Structure 1
Amino acid sequence: MTPALRPALALLLIALGWSLSWAGPPPDASTERRAAHLVRTDSKQMVTLYAARILIDSVTPEGIRVWVSDKEFEWVRSRGWDIRFISPTAEDYWPEEETKAEKGLTYPLTTYPTFDEITAALEDFASTYPSLCRLVSIGKSVQNRDLWFLKITDNPDLEEDEPEFKYISTMHGNETLGVILCLNLIHDLLAGHGTDPRLTSLVDETEIWIMPLMNPDGYSRSPRSRFNSQGIDLNRNFPDRVEDDANDPTGRAPEVRAVMNFCAVHSFVLSANFHTGALVVNYPYDNSEFAHIQNHPDWYTPDNDVFVDASLAYSSNNPPMYASPYFTNGITNGIAWYTLVGGMQDWNYVWMGCNEVTIEVSDIFSPSTSALG
């Protein structure tokens, strides 16, 4: 087993036991948002950004990472704040067409697979281990790519009395490392069944569902895009207990609709979604009508102790995360980090009764391939 998978398995094991008004920038839906770094000033700055509906995806003492259109960028700069666009890195681009021929994958992975390679790998798992897994497409992306889930358990065609667990990765197409982690984990679970006692126990006693790639359209672009093909941030498109409390998939992005409909017919008890851009485990809530009141009780779910334990189960097995200079023991309540509207983890908890955490596995969106494996 590769060391990178130990935190994932530690978290998986737990499944066995249990509005402000402000004059903001003009609407700019026609222009794609790009990542930008904003130097922090004072607490009023965050209030202004929230009120103006600026998309925030990370906050540290050094700065705030935002996703802004050109008009939003100029609006932020007009306030006298220091902001600059973040240029894509070489790893955010796919190789030239003639050099990226599809090929069989070798584990642990040392390169980012294309969507077609991911599909082929999942199909290969399903055909190689027919007694342990089933490949299911839960829907299609905007550009008609399959949204794949792989079910792993010892009796994949039977409905057994065992906990259901899921991993979802890369709902932001530019956050690629989770694809690698998921495929490596799938390989280890299947190849290790019958020989590794812990892996065998996980597969035999849990119904495990893994979706390596929720945003195949954004992932397949070059440079890769955070957003789906409609320009929608999938992690801002779910029902929200404060601002969008209708648990209805109608009118949402097709990728979000597919996940909502899929979860509605399952009984997941624990789940996690993989991101990059930070190194931390983030647990609910991400939003509250009292978000502006420091450490308000409504920031925390009734199951806060469970979330803290689950988060620590992962971070304590990831030494760089656990030693974070920003987050105590590498974990944080969502609102304590920054407020997020329409996130998947809050939706899972509020409407599906599933304890979900968000795992940020790298400060870099797409780490160099030399760091994989």
Structure 2
Amino acid sequence: MPGLRAVLLHLLLLLKLVTPVTFRHHRYDDLVRTLYRVHNECPHITRVYSAGRSVRGRHLYVLEFSDLPGIHEPLEPEVKYVGNMHGNEVLGRELLLQLSEFLCEEFRSGNQRIAQLVQSARIHIMPSMNPDGYEVAAAQGPDISAYLVGRHNANGVDLNRNFPDLNTYIYYNEKHGGPNHHLPLPDNWKSQVEPETRAVIQWIRSFNFVLSANLHGGAVVANYPYDKSLEHRVRGFRRTANTPTPDDKLFQKLAKVYSYAHGWMHHGWNCGDYFPDGITNGASWYSLSKGMQDFNYLHTNCFEITLELSCNKFPPEEDLQREWLGNREALIQFLEQVHQGIKGMVLDENNNYLPKAVISVSGINHDVTSGDHGDYFRLLLPGTYVVTATAPGFDPKTVTVTVGPGEPKRVDFQLRRSIPPVTKFPAQHLETESYQSPG
């Protein structure tokens, strides 16, 4: 019987370690316990940290997945998910908790696809950007008449209309010339935004994020930049002019990856509206100023889309399992999209890192920059591109590269320091003065 006792003990330990996924809504304290439970189950590949606090002092917790948590490894991209930006749009919050448990459990069970994902990228999951609004919405119960209750933060501000408006500058620059990437923020930007917005801006400035999605509710569609219409007007609530970014085809592909991996988004008919392929340009749907996805694209290296995931902003618990099964593959496939295009190191002639070097692609009027470790990531569709790396004080370098499907192509740049021109003085300027001794 000792052998049987050992087997039973082993089974009990497994049952204790593997907590079954529960499909229910998580209030703030429950959310925090869930994140730390996942971390305790997978301590070697996770880290829990706070990106800041809400108006009411609640933490904006992030769960990180990486083979080296807390450390940026050169040439390993950073990717993020943000949920519950609108406190009453809760499905994204629950899906990100489910995703966290799924990544942990599948990694431990030896799923090679998940292991490769965790080992090749650094994944940051923020289940709730608006924990104060969520608590207000959750306290209302299933009353459909309270549709907008909890949408805003505790100061009554819509966080997705609270980021600095950089679209106005880029539209001006497109006509008159000017920078097309990393647009600067106003000097007083911190005083113009809410605590949650300020925390998220500082968060995305602290990491060299490459790819991102923020999860919403109220429709079922993958929405890509620009969100703000170039026409600066809204025709009713629906259908303004399409306002594409220089990376429009890439954004369409990213949106379609999610839509077609989703259980039903790609059918297009949802919530009384129709979106071909289940995707839409944000401004074409309705114009939105000071939104988060446009801010990511215009101020950082990050390509972000917005995922509208359910007609019901606060779906009942009995719908959560179906929603998870409909979104699970799409959530994984979207993370895998961070591995495409080109990536590499930008170094000087002595192999020192060159941060903030600019990587330009001919024909695409939007640049990215290298991070603090000298590594850069440029998402691109398959094709042949002319790519140039520039840095102040160094001679630029240009290469032609062919990008295929699948893994990104490694393209390193070693820049030589510029030699300043020698100033020559005419001979007549080299006059000497006679020296007269005193006395």
User: TM-score surpassing 0.5?
Assistant: yes
Q: Is the 8 A contact 2:224 2:255 kept in 1?
A: yes
Tell whether 2:137 aligns with 1:241: no
Q: For the residues of structure 2 that align with 1:319 and 1:186, how far apart are their CA atoms? A: 20
Unmatched tracts of structure 2, length 5 or more: 1-17, 141-148, 170-183, 322-439
Please state how far the C-alpha of 1:157 moved relative to its aligned partner: 3.4
Higher relative contact order, chain-length normalized (CA < 8 Å, sep 6+) = 1
Provide, for residues 191-218 of structure 1, a one-character-per-residue CA deviation record: whole Å limited to 9, x for no partner. Answer: 1115111111110001000000110001
Paired position in structure 1 for 2:310: 362
Q: For the residues of structure 2 that align with 1:344 and 1:353, how far apart are their CA atoms? A: 13
Q: Which is greater in Rg?
A: 2
1:318 aligned residue (262, 276, 281):
262
Amino acid at match of 1:313: V
Please state how far the C-alpha of 1:362 moved relative to its aligned partner: 0.3
Amino acid at match of 2:154: S
Provide, for residues 24-43 of structure 1, a one-character-per-residue CA deviation record: whole Å limited to 9, x for no partner. Answer: xxxxxxxxxxxxxxxxxxxx
Provide, for residues 118-151 of structure 1, a one-character-per-residue CA deviation record: whole Å limited to 9, x for no partner. Answer: 0011112222222101111111111111110111
**Secondary structure of residue in 2 paired with 1:301:** coil
1:246–1:289: structure 2 CA closer, same or farther, 3 Å change rule? farther
Q: For the residues of structure 2 that align with 1:276 and 1:300, how far apart are their CA atoms? A: 23
Amino acid at match of 1:211: M
Q: Is the 8 A contact 1:345 1:356 kept in 2?
A: yes
> Percent sequence identity over matched residues?
40
Provide, for residues 57-76 of structure 1, a one-character-per-residue CA deviation record: whole Å limited to 9, x for no partner. Answer: xxxxxxxxxxxxxxxxxxxx
Q: For the residues of structure 2 that align with 1:311 and 1:107, how far apart are their CA atoms? A: 31
1:182 aligned residue (86, 96, 104):
96
Paired position in structure 2 for 1:331: 279
**Secondary structure of residue in 2 paired with 1:250:** helix
Paired position in structure 2 for 1:206: 121
Q: For the residues of structure 2 that align with 1:362 and 1:179, how far apart are their CA atoms? A: 12
Over the aligned positions, Cα root-mean-square deviation in angstroms equals 2.0
1:1-373 equivalences under 5 Å are 107-161=20-74, 162-194=76-108, 195-221=110-136, 222-223=139-140, 225-242=150-167, 246=185, 248-292=189-233, 299-325=243-269, 326-373=274-321
For normalisation by structure 2, the TM-score amounts to 0.58
Count of matched residue positions in the alignment of Structure 1 and Structure 2: 268
Paired position in structure 2 for 1:81: none
Amino acid at match of 1:305: K
Q: Is the 8 A contact 1:243 1:341 kept in 2?
A: no
Please state how far the C-alpha of 1:296 moved relative to its aligned partner: 6.0
**Secondary structure of residue in 2 paired with 1:319:** coil
Amino acid at match of 1:253: E
1:188–1:319: structure 2 CA closer, same or farther, 3 Å change rule? closer
Amino acid at match of 2:46: C
Q: Is the 8 A contact 1:286 1:346 kept in 2?
A: yes
1:218–1:336: structure 2 CA closer, same or farther, 3 Å change rule? same
Q: For the residues of structure 2 that align with 1:323 and 1:157, how far apart are their CA atoms? A: 40
Provide, for residues 267-320 of structure 1, a one-character-per-residue CA deviation record: whole Å limited to 9, x for no partner. Answer: 1110000001000000000113325599867x1111111111110000001232
Q: Is the 8 A contact 2:49 2:63 kept in 1?
A: yes
Paired position in structure 2 for 1:4: none
Q: Is the 8 A contact 2:241 2:283 kept in 1?
A: no
Q: Is the 8 A contact 1:172 1:215 kept in 2?
A: yes
1:210–1:367: structure 2 CA closer, same or farther, 3 Å change rule? same
Q: For the residues of structure 2 that align with 1:291 and 1:109, how far apart are their CA atoms? A: 45
For normalisation by structure 1, the TM-score amounts to 0.68
Q: For the residues of structure 2 that align with 1:365 and 1:318, how far apart are their CA atoms? A: 18
Q: For the residues of structure 2 that align with 1:295 and 1:173, how far apart are their CA atoms? A: 26
**Secondary structure of residue in 2 paired with 1:316:** helix
